[in-house]
Amino acid sequence: MNKTSIKLRNNTLYQIFVRNHTPEGTFKGLIKDLDRIKDLGVDILYLLPIHPIGEKNRKGSLGSPYSIKNYREINPELGSLNDFLDLIEETHKRNMKLIIDVVFNHTSRDSMLLKAHPEWFYKDQNGQFNNRVGEWWDITDFDYTKDKNLWIELADTLKYYTTLGVDGFRCDVASLVPIDFWKYARKEVSKINRKTIWISESVHGGFVKYIRDLGFEAWSESEIYQVFDMAYEYDVQPYFDGYLKGQRPLKDYLEAIARQDEIYPANYVKMKNLENHDFERIAAYVKDNQFKILNWFGFSFFQKGAFMLYAGGEYSSSHRPDLFEKDLMKRNNDISEYLKKLIKIKKRSVFSSGIYQVNIPEIDGVGYNTFENEQEIWHGIFNVGQVSGRIKTKLEDGLYRNQLSGKMLKVENGLIDLIQDPIVIKIMK
pLDDT band (50, 70, 90) for residue 128: confident
The arithmetic mean of pLDDT across residues 335-357, rounded, is: 98
pLDDT for res 126:
84
Q: How many residues does the chain have?
A: 429
Secondary structure (3-state) at 327: coil
pLDDT for res 134:
67
pLDDT for res 101:
98
pLDDT for res 207:
87
pLDDT single digits (tens) 134-144: 667 889 999 99
User: Dihedral (C-alpha) 423, 310, 346, 229: value to the nearest 10 degrees?
Assistant: 140
pLDDT for res 18:
97
Name 258's Cβ contacts closer than 8 Å, sequence gap at least 6: 358, 360
pLDDT for res 344:
97
Secondary structure (3-state) at 179: helix
Q: What is the pTM of this model?
A: 0.96
pLDDT for res 82:
98
Cα distances from 85 to residues 27, 28, 164, 166, 195, in angstroms, run 9, 11, 7, 9, 19
DSSP 250-265: HHHHHHHHHHHHHHS-
pLDDT-above-70 percentage for the chain: 99
pLDDT for res 137:
81
pLDDT for res 205:
87
Q: Mark 81-96 as b/e (b = at least 16 C-beta within 10 Å).
A: eebbeebbebbeeeeb
Whether 1 shows a pLDDT value over 70: the answer reads no
Map out the domains of the chain with their CATH numbers: 6-347 (3.20.20.80), 367-428 (2.60.40.1180)
pLDDT single digits (tens) 298-339: 999 999 999 999 999 999 999 999 999 999 988 889 999 999
The arithmetic mean of pLDDT across residues 240-250, rounded, is: 96
Q: How far apart are CA 132 and CA 124, in angstroms?
A: 8
Q: How far apart are CA 366 and CA 379, in angstroms?
A: 13
Whether 57 shows a pLDDT value over 80: the answer reads yes
Whether 295 shows a pLDDT value over 80: the answer reads yes
Q: Are strands 415-417 and 408-412 parallel, antiparallel or unpaired?
A: antiparallel
The arithmetic mean of pLDDT across residues 47-72, rounded, is: 96
Whether 234 shows a pLDDT value over 80: the answer reads yes
243 exposure class (CB count in 10 Å sphere: 0-12, 13-18, 19+): buried
Whether 133 shows a pLDDT value over 90: the answer reads no
Average confidence score pLDDT of the chain: 95
pLDDT single digits (tens) 30-52: 999 999 999 999 999 999 999 99
The arithmetic mean of pLDDT across residues 190-218, rounded, is: 92
pLDDT for res 153:
98
The arithmetic mean of pLDDT across residues 165-192, rounded, is: 97
Q: How far apart are CA 221 and CA 205, in angstroms?
A: 8
Q: How far apart are CA 76 and CA 101, in angstroms?
A: 17
